[in-house]
Each structure stands twice: as structure tokens, then as C-alpha cells.
């Protein structure tokens, strides 16, 4: 019983940390895509070439 409970706790901790990591990486990915898009729009609007 005790070992099963410990296993569930470890599994829940792993799941939570994985979910947290995925949400953070998704946020970073979205932010990076937005920054790249803004950079390209600025680059196209400036007409350097």
C-alpha cells in the first residue's frame, strides 16, 4: 500500500513537471514565432533593399 502510494505520487509529480515543461516550451515557441513574424514585417516595411 505504502509503495503504491509513493509510486502514484512520483507519477503525479512527473506528470505535473512534464505538463509545466510543455506549457513553458509552447509559450516560448509562440513568443519566438511572433517575434520572427514581427521582425519580417518590420524588415519588409523598411524596404532596405
pLDDT in tens, 1-48: 577 889 999 999 999 999 999 999 998 888 888 788 888 888 787 765
pTM, two decimal places:
0.55
Within a domain: 29: yes
Within a domain: 1: no
Structural domain including 47 reads 23-49
- Total domains in the chain come to 1
Give, rounded to a whole angstrom, the gap between the first and last alpha carbons of the chain. Answer: 71
Within a domain: 14: no
Amino acid at each position: 500500500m505504502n509503495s503504491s502510494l509513493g509510486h502514484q505520487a512520483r507519477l503525479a509529480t512527473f506528470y505535473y513537471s512534464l505538463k509545466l515543461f510543455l506549457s513553458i516550451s509552447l509559450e516560448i515557441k509562440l513568443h519566438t514565432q511572433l517575434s520572427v513574424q514581427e521582425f519580417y514585417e518590420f524588415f519588409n516595411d523598411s524596404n532596405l533593399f
